[in-house]
Structure 1
Amino acid sequence: MQDSVLSSEIHDPAAPAHYWQRWWKGQTPGRQDRFAMLAPLVAVLLFLAAIVSAFGYLRLEEMDREQEAVKRDIEYAQQRVRLRLLERQEQLMRIARDVSNKDVDPEEFMGRAESMVVQYAELQAVSWIDEKRRIIASYAAPSVSNHQLRVAGEVLRPGETETMFGLVRDLQQPVYAQPVASSDANGLLQLHIPLANQGRFGGVILAEYSIDGLLRHGVPAEVSAKYAVALLDGKGRVLAGTSVPARNAATHLLPWAAQNNEYEVPVSPVGNGLLIRGQAYRTSLGVIGSGLFWLVGVLSAMTAWMLIGNWRHTRRRMQAQLALIAETNFRRAMENSMLTGMRALDMQGRITYVNAAFCQMTGWSEAELVGRTPPFPYWPEEDRELLAARLDDEIHGRAAPSGIQVRVKRKEGSLFDARLYVSPLIDAKGHQAGWMTSMTDITEPNRIREQLSASYERFTTVLEALDASVSVAPLGSEELLFANKLYRQWFGVQTVGHLQMVAQAGVPEHPRSDESLDDVDSFVGLPTGALTTARSENAEIYVPELGKWLEVRSRYLNWVDGRLAQMVIATDITQRRHAEEQSAAQAERAQAASRLVTMGEMASSVAHELNQPLTAINNYCHGLVSRIKRKQISDEDLLAALEKTARQAQRAGQIIQRIRSFVKRSEPNRTLADIAQMVNEAVELAEIELRRRNVRLTHYVAARLPQVMVDPILIEQVLVNLLKNAAESIDNARRPAARRGVELRVIPQQVDEQQVIEFSVTDTGQGLSPEVMERLYEAFFSTKVEGMGIGLNLCRTIVESHQGRMQAENIYNGADVAGCRFSFWVPVSGATNNIAKKDAGVAV
Structure 2
Amino acid sequence: MQDSTLPELHEAVAPVPWLRRWWRRQTPGRQDRYAMLAPLAAVLLFLAAIISAFWYLRLEEMDREQEAVRRDVEYAQQRLRLRLLERQEQLMRIARDISNKEIDPEEFVGRAETMVIQYPELQALAWIDDRRRIQAAYAGPSVPAQQQRRAGDVLRPGETETTFSLVRDLQQPVYSQPPLAGENAPLLQLHVPLAEHARFGGVILAEYSVDSLLRYGVPAEVSARYAVSLLDAKGRALAGQVLPGRGTASRLLAWAAPQANEYEVPVSPVGNGLVLKAQAYRTSLGVVGSGLFWLVGTLSAMTAWMLIGNWRHTRRRMQAQQALIAETNFRRAMENSMLTGMRALDMQGRITYVNPAFCQMTGWSEAELVGRTAPFPYWPEADRDQLMARLEDELNGRTTPGGFQVRVKRKDGTLFDARMYVSPLVDPKGHQTGWMTSMTDITEPNRIREQLSASYERFTTVLEALDASVSVAPLGSEELLFANKLYRLWFGLHTGGHLQMVAQAGVPDHPRTDESLDEVDSFVGLPTGQLTTAQSENAEIFVPELGKWLEVRSRYLNWVDGRLAQMVIATDITPRRHAEEQAAAQAERAQAASRLITMGEMASSVAHELNQPLTAINNYCNGLVSRIRSNQINQDDLLVALDKTARQAQRAGQIIQRIRSFVRRSEPNRSLSDVATMVAEAVELAEIELRRRNVRLSHYVAARLPKLMVDPILIEQVLVNLLKNAAESIEHARRPTAHRSVELRAVPRQIEGQHVVEFSVQDSGAGLAPEVMERLYEAFFSTKVEGMGIGLNLCRSIVESHQGRMQAENIYNGSEVAGCRFSFWIPVSGAISSAANKDAGVVA
Deviation at 1:401, TM superposition (A): 1.0
Q: Give CA deviations for 1:809-840 in whole Å, capped at 9, x if unaligned.
A: 556677766554444444434562699xxxxx
Which letter does structure 2 place at the counterpart of 1:218? Q
Task: Provide the rounded CA distance (Å) in 1 between the counterparts of 2:288 and 2:371.
Answer: 65
CA contact (8 A) 2:347 2:433 kept: yes
Task: Provide the rounded CA distance (Å) in 2 between the counterparts of 1:377 and 1:298.
Answer: 84
The verdict on how the C-alpha distance between 1:228 and 1:786 changes in structure 2, with shifts beyond 3 A counting, is closer
Instruction: Name the residue aligned to 2:421.
Output: 421
Instruction: Name the residue aligned to 2:132.
Output: none
Which letter does structure 2 place at the counterpart of 1:539? A
Task: Provide the rounded CA distance (Å) in 2 between the counterparts of 1:801 and 1:673.
Answer: 16
Deviation at 1:465, TM superposition (A): 3.3
Deviation at 1:663, TM superposition (A): 0.9
Deviation at 1:596, TM superposition (A): 0.5
Q: Give CA deviations for 1:401-456 in whole Å, capped at 9, x if unaligned.
A: 11111234567766543222222222222223333333333334323332333333
Which letter does structure 2 place at the counterpart of 1:426? V
Deviation at 1:734, TM superposition (A): 3.5
Scaled by the length of structure 2, what TM-score is found? Answer: 0.56
The verdict on how the C-alpha distance between 1:695 and 1:446 changes in structure 2, with shifts beyond 3 A counting, is farther
Say if 2:689 is the partner of 1:666.
no
CA contact (8 A) 1:344 1:437 kept: yes
Q: Give CA deviations for 1:127-163 in whole Å, capped at 9, x if unaligned.
A: xxxxxxxxxxxxxxxxxxxxxxxxxxxxxxxxxxxxx
CA contact (8 A) 1:228 1:281 kept: no
Residues 92-131 of structure 1: pairs in structure 2 closer than 5 A: none
Deviation at 1:592, TM superposition (A): 0.5
Instruction: Name the residue aligned to 2:590.
Output: 590
Task: Provide the rounded CA distance (Å) in 1 between the counterparts of 2:406 and 2:658.
Answer: 94
Instruction: Name the residue aligned to 2:148.
Output: 220
Task: Provide the rounded CA distance (Å) in 2 between the counterparts of 1:822 and 1:771.
Answer: 17
Residues 409-808 of structure 1: pairs in structure 2 closer than 5 A: 415-514=415-514, 527-614=527-614, 649-735=649-735, 740-748=740-748, 755-769=755-769, 771-808=771-808
The verdict on how the C-alpha distance between 1:281 and 1:567 changes in structure 2, with shifts beyond 3 A counting, is closer
The verdict on how the C-alpha distance between 1:723 and 1:423 changes in structure 2, with shifts beyond 3 A counting, is farther
* Residue aligned with 1:784, SS: coil
Which letter does structure 2 place at the counterpart of 1:219? Q
CA contact (8 A) 1:476 1:509 kept: yes
Unaligned stretches of 5+ residues in structure 1: 1-28, 55-214, 231-243, 245-256, 263-278, 517-522, 836-844
* Residue aligned with 1:717, SS: helix
Say if 2:334 is the partner of 1:406.
no
Q: Give CA deviations for 1:192-249 in whole Å, capped at 9, x if unaligned.
A: xxxxxxxxxxxxxxxxxxxxxxx964331799x999659xxxxxxxxxxxxx9xxxxx
* Residue aligned with 1:218, SS: helix
The verdict on how the C-alpha distance between 1:713 and 1:286 changes in structure 2, with shifts beyond 3 A counting, is same
Unaligned stretches of 5+ residues in structure 2: 1-36, 67-142, 151-177, 186-210, 212-226, 247-258, 262-279, 517-522, 836-844
Deviation at 1:666, TM superposition (A): 0.5
Task: Provide the rounded CA distance (Å) in 1 between the counterparts of 2:287 and 2:605.
Answer: 101
Deviation at 1:598, TM superposition (A): 0.7
Which letter does structure 2 place at the counterpart of 1:486? L
The verdict on how the C-alpha distance between 1:724 and 1:347 changes in structure 2, with shifts beyond 3 A counting, is farther
The verdict on how the C-alpha distance between 1:814 and 1:524 changes in structure 2, with shifts beyond 3 A counting, is closer
Seq. identity, %? 74
CA contact (8 A) 2:764 2:818 kept: yes
Which letter does structure 2 place at the counterpart of 1:787? G
Q: How many residues matched?
A: 583
CA contact (8 A) 2:697 2:742 kept: yes
CA contact (8 A) 1:228 1:280 kept: no
* Residue aligned with 2:419, SS: strand
Deviation at 1:568, TM superposition (A): 3.6
Task: Provide the rounded CA distance (Å) in 2 between the counterparts of 1:539 and 1:712.
Answer: 30
CA contact (8 A) 2:709 2:832 kept: no
The verdict on how the C-alpha distance between 1:525 and 1:553 changes in structure 2, with shifts beyond 3 A counting, is closer
The verdict on how the C-alpha distance between 1:606 and 1:452 changes in structure 2, with shifts beyond 3 A counting, is same
CA contact (8 A) 1:513 1:526 kept: no
Instruction: Name the residue aligned to 1:286.
Output: 243
* Residue aligned with 1:721, SS: helix
Instruction: Name the residue aligned to 1:188.
Output: none
CA contact (8 A) 2:344 2:352 kept: yes
The verdict on how the C-alpha distance between 1:811 and 1:459 changes in structure 2, with shifts beyond 3 A counting, is farther
Scaled by the length of structure 1, what TM-score is found? Answer: 0.56
Deviation at 1:594, TM superposition (A): 0.5
Task: Provide the rounded CA distance (Å) in 2 between the counterparts of 1:425 and 1:746.
Answer: 100
Larger of the two Rg values belongs to structure? 2
The verdict on how the C-alpha distance between 1:586 and 1:370 changes in structure 2, with shifts beyond 3 A counting, is same
* Residue aligned with 1:551, SS: strand
Task: Provide the rounded CA distance (Å) in 2 between the counterparts of 1:456 and 1:499.
Answer: 26
Deviation at 1:713, TM superposition (A): 1.0
Deviation at 1:715, TM superposition (A): 1.9
Which letter does structure 1 place at the counterpart of 2:574? T
Deviation at 1:601, TM superposition (A): 1.1
Task: Provide the rounded CA distance (Å) in 2 between the counterparts of 1:383 and 1:506.
Answer: 62
Q: Give CA deviations for 1:769-826 in whole Å, capped at 9, x if unaligned.
A: 4554454434333222111222122223323333444444556677766554444444
Deviation at 1:504, TM superposition (A): 3.7
Deviation at 1:665, TM superposition (A): 0.7
CA contact (8 A) 1:707 1:829 kept: no
Q: Give CA deviations for 1:16-38 in whole Å, capped at 9, x if unaligned.
A: xxxxxxxxxxxxx9xxx9xx99x
RMSD: 5.6
CA contact (8 A) 1:358 1:439 kept: yes
Instruction: Name the residue aligned to 1:16.
Output: none
Residues 27-46 of structure 1: pairs in structure 2 closer than 5 A: none
The verdict on how the C-alpha distance between 1:339 and 1:651 changes in structure 2, with shifts beyond 3 A counting, is farther
CA contact (8 A) 2:709 2:834 kept: no
Which letter does structure 1 place at the counterpart of 2:583? S
Q: Give CA deviations for 1:329-376 in whole Å, capped at 9, x if unaligned.
A: 754664466554444444455555555655665567777766666666
Task: Provide the rounded CA distance (Å) in 2 between the counterparts of 1:295 and 1:369.
Answer: 82
Q: Give CA deviations for 1:499-554 in whole Å, capped at 9, x if unaligned.
A: 444444444444432369xxxxxx99775444444443333333334333333334
* Residue aligned with 1:469, SS: strand
CA contact (8 A) 1:226 1:280 kept: no
Which letter does structure 1 place at the counterpart of 2:456? Y
